[in-house]
Amino acid sequence: MPTVKKADVVTFLSDYGLEDEFVGVCHGVILRVAPHLRVVDLHHNILRQDIRHGAVVLLQSINYLPESVHLAVVDPGVGSGRRAVALQTGRGETFVGPDNGLLIPAAVASGGIKRAFEVSDRRFLLTPVSRTFQGRDVFAPAAAHIAAGVDPAEMGPPISPDDLVQLEIPQAWVHDDHLHAEVLQVDRFGNLQMNLALEQLEQVAISGGDRLEVRLEGHRLTVPFADTFADVAAGEYVLIKDSYNYVSLAVNKGDAAARLRARSGSTAIVGPLPRG
């Protein structure tokens, strides 16, 4: 069974943005419970109410974060019957957030979910609990108490990991000599990260230096698969292996998403150039 120990850090991901006071207020709640904590703001510009985007960012970041309590709030079901949960993993990480699939991919990647509990004990919440801002009243104080050494089992009744709301991040798939992929996320530079891992390109005998056909949002592009953005001239498209071992479509010193009118969820077909 995972051990319970104090943490020095709470990481925090949300779709709150930075235009309002929501993030700062959650910081304040955490520090009122446990003034010793440092809060690492992982990301607060998750697409509004986009659970999958939050799950992708949390999953891709988890191996670079300290062992800690991870607070994540992307919660379109706030105030409804959805549960608040605390998940403890085989690697000793604890995830706190809504039971809507947001936490699942990162928790599975952190050694699997060993224990899960509903966050409902009012000793560890602010009261009254708002129906619209449970990041402040439920998730932030619960994360802080757990980081201060409270066993997640004290938060509320146990939940079977099998009963948690699941979320799967889709994978690209091979058909003949090309791959059907999907844009996972768009970064602030307009680069389109696809759910296409490097080893999947190798399944269809594509390697670095090849020129590929990319069909996306009605466009048919011929794009080199290169090592870095600067391997093509400014303004030209390029496919690269990104820092998370996925394939991204970019424009050197430009914005691929804006040029192609692409977004998270856009579908793409990637393969060798047509013969002839």
Cβ count near 261 (within 10 Å): 11
Asked whether 247 and 201 are in contact (CB, 8 A), the reply is yes
pLDDT band of residue 2 (cuts 50, 70, 90) is very low
Q: pLDDT, tens digit, for every residue of 247-259?
A: 999 999 999 999 9
CATH of 9-163, one of 3.40.50.2300, 3.40.1260.20, 3.40.50.10790, 3.10.20.740: 3.40.50.10790
CB environment 29-54: b (16+ within 10 A), e (fewer): bbbebbeebebbebbbebbeebbbbb
Using CA atoms, how far residue 177 sits from 172, 205, 207, 237, in Å, is 13, 8, 13, 22
| Distance in angstroms (rounded) separating the CA atoms of residues 222 and 219 | 10
Q: Dihedral sign for Cα 244, 249, 250, 256, please.
A: negative
Contacts of 173 (CB under 8 A, 6+ apart): 179, 180
Statement: residue 3 has pLDDT above 70: no
Q: Which token pair is 164? A: 């948690």
Domain ranges of the chain: 9-163, 173-272
Rounded to 10 deg, the angle between the 22-33 and 140-147 helix axes is: 30
CATH class, domain 173-272, is mainly beta
Q: pLDDT, tens digit, for every residue of 99-112?
A: 999 999 999 999 99
pTM: 0.93
CB environment 107-116: b (16+ within 10 A), e (fewer): bbbbeebbbb
Side chain identity at residue 179, one-letter code: L
Q: pLDDT, tens digit, for every residue of 94-147?
A: 999 999 999 999 999 999 999 999 999 999 999 999 999 999 999 999 999 999
